[in-house]
Structure formats: C-alpha cells, structure tokens
Amino acid sequence: MGIACSMKISFKTLSAKVTKTDLLVLLSPEGKTPKLPSGVSIPKSVATSFLGKSRETRFTDAIDGPAERVLLIGLGKGKPFDLETVRRAAAIAAQKAEKTDAASVTFWVDLKLGKSAEDFGQALGEGLVMGAHRLVDFKRSPKKSSLKRVVIQSSKEISSGAKTGAIVGEGNTFARRLQDTPANKMRPKDMVAEARKIAKGSPRITAKALDEKAMKKLGMGSLLSVSRGSSEPAYLIHLVYKPAKKAKRKICLVGKGLTFDSGGISIKPSARMDEMKYDMSGGAAVLGTFHALAGLNPDVEVHGLVPTSENMPDASSVKPGDVVTASNGLTIEVLNTDAEGRLILADALAYAEKTIKPDAMIDLATLTGAVVVALGHELTGVMGNSKTLSDELVASGQTTGELVWPLPIIDFHKEDMKGSVGDLKNIGSPSTGAGSCTAGAFLSNFVGEIPWAHLDIAGTAWGATSRDYQGGPVGTGVGVRLLVDYLKKQK
C-alpha cells in the first residue's frame, strides 16, 4: 500500500519563539504588509510587492532567522475571510512543502478574527491535511512523503479550530484512500474490514456486518439480487456512534458501496469502465464520516449503513426482467441490471426505517450518470421528502464548499417508477428523462415517513476541477466534510 499522510501537527502560541523550520508559511490579508515573526527576515522587495490577494503566493529564501525559506500566501480581503480561500491557502503550502522536499513547516497566523477564528482554524486544518494527501499508489517503490512535522503558531481559537479541521480532513482523506484503491483490493469484505478498524479505534463506535445469510433471513431480495453474479459476497455494514451523554437526535447515514459496477448483464461499455471502482464513494463517505466522529465526539447518535457488493455478469446474475422482492415486501422488476445502486439502497433504507427508526436519514450514492449531465462535477444533487433536511444540507454545502443543489421528485416521477408485473420497476420509461429524479422517486418507496434526503454524488465523487486540496481524475472524499458539518449542528 502506498503512503497516506504521516505528518504530525503541533500547536504553539504567537508569543513562543519560532524554532528551526524548513519552511515558514505566512498567511497574509490583502492590503496589509506581511507581518513576519521577530527574528525572521526576507528581502524587502518581496514583502513590499506582495499584495495578499486570494491565492497569491511568494516564495523566497530567508535572509536570517530560524526558517530556511518563507512562503507568503494571500488570503484576500477579510471580515470574515472566505473559508475556501483559507482551505486552498493551507493546501498550497502543503504542496509547496512537498515540492521543495521540506520536512518541517511552520504556519505563522497572526490574525485577530473574533468570532470567526474557530471556523478559520478549521478551514486551515482541513486544507492542510487534504493538501498533504497523496494518491495511493501500488508501485514497487512508492514515493515517500517529505513533510513530517507541521507547527501551527496562532491564537488559541485558531489552533483549536485547526485541530478540528485536521480531524475532519483526515476523515476526507480516509474516504479518498478507499475510493482510489482499485476494486481488486477494495472488495466488499475489505469495506467491512475498514469499518471494523474504525470501530476498534473508538470506544463510542461499534461495527457489525450482516452477511448474505443474515440478509436473506431479513428478506433483502433486492440487495441480494445485485451480488448474485459476483464471487464476492455482499454485506450490509452497520456502524453506530453513541455520544457520551444521551443524544437528543439519532441520524442515519446510508452509503452506496458498490466496489465495482460493470453494469451486470446490462453491461457497461468498456470505455472508462475502470472508473466504476468509484461506485463505492457513498460508502467511503459514510466510513470517512465515522472516522471523523471518532475524533470529534459530537452529541448526536449516528448510524451508518453501507450496503456493499460488486455488480458482475455471470450465469447466476440477475437478468433483465427478473422480479425480486425487497425487505419491505415491495416487488421490483429489474429492467436494467445497471440500475443496481437503488436496489441495494432500497433494502438498506428499509432496514433503517424498520429497525433504526432515526429522526432523519441521508443517503449518498454515485447513483446516476444523469446527475453529471445536470450538475457537473462541482455540485451534488439533493432530493427527498423533507425541505427542512435538504435546506440544511444545502447550508452545510455553503459552509464546507461541498456544494449541494436541490432537484425535484414529483408524483409524475413516482408514478413512472411503478411496474407492470411488479410493484416497481428499477428504471424510468424511455421518454421520461430526469434520470436522477426517477432514481430518487424509486428510493422514496423505502423510507416510510422518516425525513430523508438523497445525495446523488455521481458527479462530485471524482473528476472535479482542481481546488488545490482536491481535483483531477481521483476521488474527492465528497460527503465527509458536508456530513460532519450537518451532524455538528444536530444537538
């Protein structure tokens, strides 16, 4: 396995002396002369020509003092600072450190931010950890990460926020590692192992996994129809996080964990089929969120369900036209075996509704190619039965920069998903279009009366444009920061 991030972050006050470091990073607002710590000096022309615009950088050798080199990064205009700029500034610093083989970096953040200090710090911590993340590779000699030690010298509030941000950032990079790992090394049983590891790391988290036998007993014929063609058995992972004091709210997260989606008998074209290793990104987001919960300990009970399976063609695969029965008794005509995500989510949602009975549930799934057409790679689509819940997720999208945009489910879409020989069919009629909405309409049959939101992350889970801390044809870990922000607000 390639390297993840092995850097250690520590904190110091602004009154402490800056100690020896390979790179000193100064985050500086627009329109102010950069304020260097005492004892550090850089060429005068560098400081005077630096404007501090958002993402502006200036890199120089230090003339004197404990730092080898100094990197100035602009924050733009403040009050409050744009958090996305802060995240990106921290990520730029981590990348510059890596490029110059720096082993130690000190962030010098001398800013009076009042109430926004914690949020600023959190964005800094997130950007730093996400920016330092390296893609998992499987080369004979994987490249070692140079960055080992980071010191953040700042106010108490910014440092406290940065601690939180680092935990959230690690949740994000945990999800990305699972996403980027190829499907022969991230099988359903590997997802189960990752869930168990998370539970081992926290006294407040437990993990269990229902195997195919247990799911059969519960009548999960919809989920089990998907794994029939694969030699890898399916599981339903169930993680539970219980806070120290009794929680007022219980939230259930459900993530699609298709470790490879070939399409099954309705097989996909071969071009870019390799990307279907990312079809477990919803599951990765749920596991990444639990990874973060272990460090954050918020006052809310959280359940995480990850139905995980492969979708493969085989003599025993489910066939177009087959009718299967979900655990809530509804029968489904499988008209296209490539619309499998909704089949595994159906039984997971029904299980949540029947046995967990949460106050709200949120599913995340790389569910439809149609959402990529509608919203592209920068926006996640949200649908559901509760405007309050989708509004909350849109708001968390604004805070975290993981943008979320509402899409409708109308009665017409629900009507269209009714089957002819089964209660439901798993694809809409050819003339209906709105593939993301009909998928949402299908899911709405499995949530009962529970407030529910469905996040279609097919566009945002990978392939996003560069934001310094993410981007390109690799996993984004989308959902983790969004969900953590949402959960933090559930008290």
> CA distances (Å), 322 to each of 12, 204, 329, 422, in order?
63, 42, 16, 10
Contact 66, 18 (CB under 8 A): yes
Binding mask 431-460 for ligand BES (x = CB under 6 A): ----x----------------------x--
The answer to the question of residue 109 lying near ligand BES (CB under 6 A) is no
The only residue of 57, 95, 331, 336 in contact with ligand BES, by rule CB under 6 A: 336
Q: Strand 331-334 vs strand 322-325: parallel, antiparallel, or unpaired? A: antiparallel
Candidates 87-95, 239-247, 361-369, 482-490: pick the segment binding ligand BES (CB under 6 A). 361-369
The only residue of 65, 169, 341, 401 in contact with ligand BES, by rule CB under 6 A: 341
> Is omega for the bond preceding 80 within 30 degrees of 0, making it cis?
yes
Compute the least distance from the CB of residue 312 to Zn ion, in Å. 11
User: b/e for 330-368, b at 16 or more Cβ within 10 A?
Assistant: bebbbbbbbbbbbbbbbbbbbbbbeebebbbbbbbbbbb
Q: Examine the residue annotation and report whether 342 is marked as an active-site residue of this protein.
A: yes
- What does 98-157 look like in DSSP terms, one character per residue? HHTT-SEEEEE-----GGGHHHHHHHHHHHHHHHH-------SSPPPP---EEEEE--HH
User: b/e for 477-487, b at 16 or more Cβ within 10 A?
Assistant: bbbbbbbbbbb
Q: Identify which of residues 93 and 461 has a Cβ nearer to ligand BES in the complex.
A: 461
| Alpha-carbon span 259 to 254, nearest angstrom | 15
Find where tokens 């492969």 sit. Answer: 310
| Residues 264-293, interacting with Zn ion (CB under 5 A) | 279
Contact 119, 78 (CB under 8 A): no
The only residue of 126, 194, 301, 338 in contact with Zn ion, by rule CB under 5 A: 338
The answer to the question of residue 261 lying near Zn ion (CB under 5 A) is yes
The site partner of 368 among Zn ion, ligand BES, none (C-beta below 5 to 8 Å per kind) is ligand BES
The residues, any chain, with a CB within 8 Å of residue 381's CB and separated by 6 or more, are: 371, 374, 375, 404, 405, 406, 407, 436, 455, 456, 459
Q: Which of 12, 268, 319, 488 is catalytic?
A: 268
Q: Which two tokens stand for residue 307?
A: 């139905």
The only residue of 341, 381, 422, 475 in contact with Zn ion, by rule CB under 5 A: 341
The only residue of 119, 180, 232, 279 in contact with ligand BES, by rule CB under 6 A: 279
Q: Which two tokens stand for residue 128?
A: 């730093």
Residues across the chain: 491
Q: Examine the residue annotation and report whether 69 is marked as an active-site residue of this protein.
A: no
Q: Which of 96, 176, 342, 425 is catalytic?
A: 342
The only residue of 150, 236, 339, 404 in contact with ligand BES, by rule CB under 6 A: 339
**What is the residue type of 67?**
A
Compute the least distance from the CB of residue 415 to ligand BES, in Å. 17
Q: Identify which of residues 75 and 427 has a Cβ nearer to ligand BES in the complex.
A: 427
Q: Which two tokens stand for residue 113?
A: 């931010």
| Residues 367-396, interacting with ligand BES (CB under 6 A) | 367-370, 372
Find where tokens 């680092």 sit. Answer: 166
The site partner of 336 among Zn ion, ligand BES, none (C-beta below 5 to 8 Å per kind) is ligand BES
| Residues 216-275, interacting with ligand BES (CB under 6 A) | 261
The site partner of 162 among Zn ion, ligand BES, none (C-beta below 5 to 8 Å per kind) is none
The only residue of 293, 383, 409, 427 in contact with ligand BES, by rule CB under 6 A: 427
The answer to the question of residue 468 lying near Zn ion (CB under 5 A) is no
The site partner of 159 among ligand BES, Zn ion, none (C-beta below 5 to 8 Å per kind) is none
The residues that are catalytic are: 268, 342
Positions touching Zn ion (CB under 5 A) are 258, 261, 279, 338, 340-341
Positions touching ligand BES (CB under 6 A) are 261, 279, 336, 338-341, 366-370, 372, 427, 435, 458
